[in-house]
Amino acid sequence: MQNAETIFKLLSKASALKSVEDISEALGLPKGEVRNAVQELIRAKRVKRISGKFIVSRQGYGAHGEVTGRLSVSRDGYGFVETDGDDIFIPRANLNSALSGDLVTAAISKRRGRREGSVIKIADRALSEVACRVHKNGVALPYSKTFIPPVIIDDGYREGDIVFVRITSFPQNGGYLKGVVLEKLGAAGDKGIENLIVMKNYGLTRVFPKEAENCADSAAIEPVRIDKRADFRGLFTVTIDGEDAKDFDDAVSVEKSGEGYALYVHIADVSNYVKGGTPLDREAYKRGTSVYFPEFAIPMLPEILSNGICSLRPREDRYAVTVKIDYDLDGNRRGAKFYTSVINSSHRLTYGKVNEVLRNGLAGEKDELNLFIFRAAELSKIIGGRRKGDGALSFNLPEVKFTFSSLGDILSVEPAATGESERIIEHFMIEANEAAAEALLRCAPSGIFRNHLPPDPKKVLQWTKSAIYFGFDSGKLPKKPDNKTVQRWFSKIENHRFSYILKTSLVRSMQKAVYEGKNAGHFGLASSAYTHFTSPIRRYPDLFVHRLLKKYLFNIEENVDPAMCDVAAKHSSVTEREGDDAERDVQHFKKLAFLANSPERVYSAFISRVGDSIGVFIFELLMYGTLEATKDIGRKTLNIGDLLKVAWSRNDLDSCEAFFTMESLESSGIRRVRPSTSRGITPTKPLNFKRGRKRR
């Protein structure tokens, strides 16, 4: 009985589940006596067993239920189980060998008034293969922003080798993983090695299966015929894309009369070439999306289609699915009609060229193009004003641009400039996507919709509290933040000196836009129904939507099963998220390489985080890093929001993190917080400030 009480006191104070071995070691008791005493406590219902470990029933883990979800683990080792409601904090000691991405069940307790959990079951391991850097003595260190233990591999590899490893063993009580090397990728420092690392980690390849290539080759030789299609080759039509784009999904035409405007959005008819159920379609479904690295694209479709017969290249006849949207002079939609069509683009324009024309105009011989650009800008502004009145949000988040030399060296990294031309295309594509969603609801038994639910009030409240650190007062918070409230915040943030961190963290506090088989509306766009229709060359949901529209709107034979909408939607959400993560990772690697190759540069930054370490944000790189801990730093009172000049110090390749030294303190921030005062606070889920290309 005495042993039972001693063990009960130990478990009552424990912050994690304890095994027989843990209890025996802590109390110096034989394992047999521990087992007998624990059984006594279990019979008395004072202790419960969870996966071979023990907790106090009355106040321990499991007393507040269990949750199942994907685990997200920080580099510091603690994690969160992601749920539909509040995410559950998991202390490092309670991970019980679970890794980031694993599908886990966690038993919940309450500690200091907040819920936290302990992993009791791992239903699905997310990690099976990973790129690693060989350290020494048969140990390889995984490349990951999340915490992954080192991996024991076979000898025969040199320190600095980059290898691709299959994990064969996950120790139950922590410690090193075990694995076998599948492939040597190269060595640390090899040019382009970061591309290989990311591609391997996300299962990306630029090579298509032979069967898919054969399908594409056969489809690409089909001549373009008018047949029963609408002939829009006489319309003045242009594409507007980035300087380096080759896959032109969309083209636009704009007409104006005394009654209003007519907008034609022409989208490449990819479904004419990629038939459902073929090897090519199966490969496109598997990929789900094109992924864009700074130097090249990893396309969803073979280039003979994506950059060839499907691409709406200038002065070439192309198949399209066209939606004509009529507006009154105030930009209100009066109706929309879809066509299968043939077009011939008059011009291939770039965003930069259109922005230049809007600033300066064109020479007289280009009057028709000049007229089109200004007419399109006029309609776009009217549509934008109407959408703003409806409550649509405008994020205006900058993206990073890399410039390379002819030898592939990074010359510069900077925020990409944007202008009115990008907004024109964005407004027109949103209008077309809404029209497609409305058509699906009218004619198809099911569909794939792009849903964005209203934000969780608790997470938005957390953001408003965090924003105070950066001098932003959100004002009175309604019980359920509506579009107008969030729109007002974005508007106030626009010219704030900490605009980027406030915007990205606000976006992070909101729900993620996802694909689903049933319409639930789009909060961010203030849209009652929304889908993705405008990019079938690079997004599988758009291709699926095209097939549905052709089958149910035009009675064209298509191999598409409406019952598969929800399955295809969920799969597409996963491939989209993985594609975004891959783009972020490779951009981050390249930023690290740029820093290492330009050690003499000094950067403007501000302090974004103060705690056991000090986080900084580098303005021109759109990048977060860590300030080196020095004696000089330790003597200073540091403020969140302090403006600094910093110099690169080193890269930690194991954590994929850049470290900087402070050159000078330029100005004080908003709120004074000494680094030592924040130690020991209950950690909150880190906001993910990094992003890939914008996806509405």
pLDDT at 28 over 80: yes
> Region 482-496: what's the mean pLDDT?
89
3-state secondary structure of 607: strand
Q: At residue 44, what is the residue type?
A: A
pLDDT at 631 over 70: no
The pLDDT tens digits of the residues spanning 204-257 come to 999 999 999 999 999 998 889 998 999 999 999 999 999 888 899 999 999 999
Structure tokens at 262: 């007519």
Could you tell me if 8 and 58 are in contact, meaning their C-beta atoms sit under 8 angstroms apart? no
3-state secondary structure of 124: strand
Question: CA 146 → CA 75, 533, 686, distances in Å?
Answer: 5, 34, 12
Could you tell me if 211 and 284 are in contact, meaning their C-beta atoms sit under 8 angstroms apart? no
Could you tell me if 487 and 391 are in contact, meaning their C-beta atoms sit under 8 angstroms apart? yes
Structure tokens at 42: 């279990």
Count of beta carbons in the 10 Å neighbourhood of residue 587: 25
Distance CA 18, CA 29 (A): 14
629-638 own/partner pairs: CB under 8 Å, 24+ apart:
630/661, 630/662, 632/662, 633/662, 634/675, 636/665, 637/672, 637/674, 638/607, 638/610, 638/614, 638/673, 638/674, 638/675
> For residues 237, 242, 248 and 249, what is the CA-based torsion angle, rounded to 10 degrees?
-90
Q: At residue 118, what is the residue type?
A: S
Could you tell me if 231 and 342 are in contact, meaning their C-beta atoms sit under 8 angstroms apart? yes
Distance CA 395, CA 513 (A): 14
The pLDDT tens digits of the residues spanning 57-71 come to 644 455 567 888 999
Distance CA 439, CA 380 (A): 22
> What is the model's pLDDT at position 675?
36
Largest CA distance in the chain: 99
The pLDDT tens digits of the residues spanning 454-480 come to 998 888 898 998 888 888 888 887 888
Structure tokens at 429: 């594509």
Structure tokens at 159: 């320190």
> For residues 673, 677, 682 and 684, what is the CA-based torsion angle, rounded to 10 degrees?
20
3-state secondary structure of 434: helix
Question: CA 159 → CA 200, 452, 653, distances in Å?
Answer: 20, 47, 13
> For residues 677, 680, 684 and 688, what is the CA-based torsion angle, rounded to 10 degrees?
70
pLDDT at 82 over 90: no
The pLDDT tens digits of the residues spanning 120-130 come to 888 899 999 99
Q: 419 Cβ partners below 8 Å, 6+ apart?
A: 351, 354, 355, 358
Distance CA 319, CA 311 (A): 9
Single out the residue of 590, 635, 595, 585 nearest to residue 616, CA to CA: 595
Q: CA angle, corner 632, sides to 631 and 636, nearest 5?
A: 115
pLDDT at 581 over 70: yes
As a whole number of Å, the end-to-end CA separation of the chain is 63
> What is the model's pLDDT at position 468?
87
> What is the model's pLDDT at position 686?
34
Could you tell me if 660 and 627 are in contact, meaning their C-beta atoms sit under 8 angstroms apart? yes
**H helices of 391-446, where?**
420-443
Could you tell me if 640 and 671 are in contact, meaning their C-beta atoms sit under 8 angstroms apart? yes
Single out the residue of 265, 226, 231, 235 nearest to residue 249, CA to CA: 265
The pLDDT-based confidence of 687 (bands split at 50, 70, 90) is: very low
pLDDT at 683 over 50: no
Could you tell me if 91 and 116 are in contact, meaning their C-beta atoms sit under 8 angstroms apart? yes
Structure tokens at 481: 């933040």
pLDDT at 374 over 60: yes
> What is the model's pLDDT at position 59?
46
Backbone angles phi, psi at 530, to 5 degrees: -150, 145
Conformational region of residue 515, where left means phi above 0, alpha means psi within -120 to 50, and beta covers everything else:
beta
The pLDDT-based confidence of 13 (bands split at 50, 70, 90) is: confident
Residues of the chain by 3-state class (helix, strand, coil), percent to 5: 35, 30, 40
Percent of the chain with pLDDT over 70: 91
The pLDDT-based confidence of 669 (bands split at 50, 70, 90) is: low
